[in-house]
Amino acid sequence: MMHTPPMKILLANPRGFCAGVYMAINVVDELLTSCPGEAIYVYHEIVHNRHVVERFRNRGVQFIESIADVPEGAIVVFSAHGVSPEVRAQARAKQLLAIDATCPLVTKVHAEAIRFAKRGWQILLIGHRTHQEVVGTRGEAPDSIQVVETPADIPHLVIVDPTKLIYLTQTTLSIDDAATVIRALKEAFPEIKEPPSSDICYATTNRQTAVRAIAPQAQLVLVVGSRNSSNSLRLTEIAEIDGTPARLIDDASELQSEWFIGVDTVLLTAGASAPEDLVHAVIESLVREFGGEVEQVDVFDERMEFGLPGSLRSLLRERGIDPEGRRISLDRERDTALFLEERGIAHHTVTLTIGRST
């Protein structure tokens, strides 16, 4: 890689795993530990990250796209993005041991959709039509929900009563894109109701806000994440809209020398489904090539944690394992500090105060 050392690496905090992704990964990990020798099936990618999926595949997990591919009575995990009631019914019909790793914040949107549909409201679901989360949410009330991707969809909506209309959103949208669609919906339907609380989740909001706040200090933004990760893609878009070039990389092997010409400060972040060890490998590669130091920029202090889902807790009890001892706890800051110390990489932390978070 061509560049004049040293490089300043701004490490965004928060970045990487959110509570929902961490819980979902822990669910599969726990099943592999607690049910040795049993086949574990996961419906769709457990989270949208190539490395996470490959690592589980190497440990014997089978990823399937149809419940028909799961043998009767086997264990199947529903991914963090959630599934439609139809998929749950298919699993019940085959008497599968279904473990639901849906993120509670996705479940919240499902619950809103069900509640308003039951009251006879029409729901406009802002999101990407083919994203698994949107497919799952829409499946809760397909006759009541219409998907809106952009303002261009609005003239094609079929609205029965504009006074009984609510919008909901996918959890991982760009805050700005969602705001544009919401503005257009409010113009078209002034009486449209807002969701009881924002559906764009805390992790999406925090990572986007952090990139927006820090990117002006850098000439390049590197986002660790996979192409099919909605929230990772949004991070690159936000940086670029605000004028800083951004690259989405699955891992350090994708770094290219021409990106670093004239660059002395890089902002490094990661989508909510990207493991922290991949971030470490990027830091290592940059420091090896350019020298330099890491400045962790703390924007929000995230403390959100989700416990193991009830369906897994029940299964563990059936197997004679006390689920209380299997607590999930994510300490990314400690892990990264240890990594930097071990590698002898100069680092310090600064705090950027712009608001409060969960």
Q: What is the DSSP letter of 151?
A: G
Tokens of 39: 């086949």
Q: Judged by CB under 6 A, which of 7, 9, 18, 96 binds ligand SF4?
A: 18
Q: Which of residues 180-209 bind ligand SF4 (CB under 6 A)?
A: 201, 203-204
133 is catalytic: yes
Site for ligand SF4 in 132-171 (CB under 6 A): 171
Does the protein bind ligand SF4 through residue 172 (CB under 6 A)?
yes
Residue 252: other Cβ atoms inside 10 A? 18
Report, in Å, the least distance between residue 277 CB and ligand SF4: 19
Contact 92, 71 (CB under 8 A): no
User: Token pair 């004239």 is at which residue?
Assistant: 262
Q: Is 25 in the site for ligand SF4 (CB under 6 A)?
A: no
Rounded to 10 degrees, what is the CA torsion of 257, 260, 265, 268? -50
Q: Please tell me whether residue 231 binds ligand SF4 under the rule CB under 6 A.
A: yes
User: What is the distance in angstroms between the CA of the first residue and the CA of the last residue of the chain?
Assistant: 39
Minimal CB distance residue for ligand SF4: 20
Cα–Cα distance measured from residue 314 to residue 41, given in angstroms and rounded to the nearest whole number = 18
Q: Which of 45, 112, 133, 295 does the annotation list as catalytic?
A: 133
- Residue written as token pair 């139809």: 86
- d(C-alpha 152, C-alpha 25), whole Å: 37
Which of 7, 9, 10, 19 is close enough to bind ligand SF4 by CB under 6 A?
A: 19
Give the x/- contact pattern for ligand SF4 in 76-95, rule: CB under 6 A.
----x---------------
Looking at 3-11, 14-22, 111-119, 234-242, which segment touches ligand SF4 (CB under 6 A)? 14-22
Give the Cα separation of 206 and 300 in Å (integer).
7
Cβ proximity to ligand SF4, 137 vs 231, nearer residue: 231
Which of 16, 20, 139, 275 binds ligand SF4 (CB under 6 A)? It is 20
Active site residues: 133
